[in-house]
Amino acid sequence: MSSSDRLARLLAQSRRAVVFTGAGISTESGIPDFRSPGGVWSKMTPISFQDFVARPERRREAWERAFSGVTRWQGADPNAGHYAVARLVAQGKVSAVITQNVDNLHQHSGVPDDKVIELHGNASFATCLECGLRHELEVIKQSFLGTGELPACRGCGGIVKTATISFGQAMPEAAMARAEAETLACDLFLVLGSSLVVYPAAGFPLLAKRNGARLAIVNREPTDQDGYADLVLHEEIGPLLGQVVPLAS
């Protein structure tokens, strides 16, 4: 049986699946994996949350990076993998997409906002750290590049930051709780493009498995959790899912 047939069969047997995505699904859209060798974080140190809040010069550096295009989050489009996941959600097969990515590509591919659980936040907009008010990046960019002044909240004057979870920042409680509930409610946990090394997010696959769900891992490289999985495929996600999703529907 081909790998796509095996994955299609697991999906066909599932009544409620959860998809868990990492950088690997978005590298196929041209977004670099920050943590990989040669990735962005191997060339420049991430700015911790504590530094961002305490030191204006680090805040300036963070905004300069955000608008330099180095992250390639802006302007990237979803690929076949994202669209296949969106079809699985639309079919009612997948109840939630838990993602470690901050690139907004699941929403961009048509997954409703309330079906996407972002463990590391979202880089496509900013929020005020004081009052939570949302700020659009395009507005901040024009102001910051035009005046050189650090972005401040138009509502309360507080510090504004992209809506990502930075190094040193607490995990988002509501998202973590929803991810856990979805994990415990699923009968198939499908990992797409995560090396499963960043905890606590990487704890969800084994939680699902211990709770009786099947576990499938699709990742280009082997992961530490491959030995626990019912199906492991070291393949590209887009081409594989492009075959699987029509088969599984």
Q: Which residues bind Zn ion (CB under 5 A)?
A: 128, 130-131, 133, 153, 155-156, 158
CB atoms within 10 A of CB 17: 24
- State which residue, 159 or 207, has the beta carbon closest to Zn ion: 159
What is the identity of the amino acid at 115?
K
Residue reference for tokens 């090394």: 197
Give catalytic status of residue 120 as yes or no.
yes
- State which residue, 30 or 56, has the beta carbon closest to Zn ion: 56
Minimum distance from residue 63 beta carbon to Zn ion (Å): 17
**Within the chain, what is the greatest distance between any pair of CA atoms?**
61
Q: Say how far apart CA 242 and CA 249 lie, in whole Å.
A: 12
Contact 214, 189 (CB under 8 A): yes
Q: What's the Rg (C-alpha) of the chain?
A: 19
Minimum distance from residue 187 beta carbon to Zn ion (Å): 42
- State which residue, 126 or 213, has the beta carbon closest to Zn ion: 126
Minimum distance from residue 172 beta carbon to Zn ion (Å): 18
Tell me the catalytic residues. Answer: 120
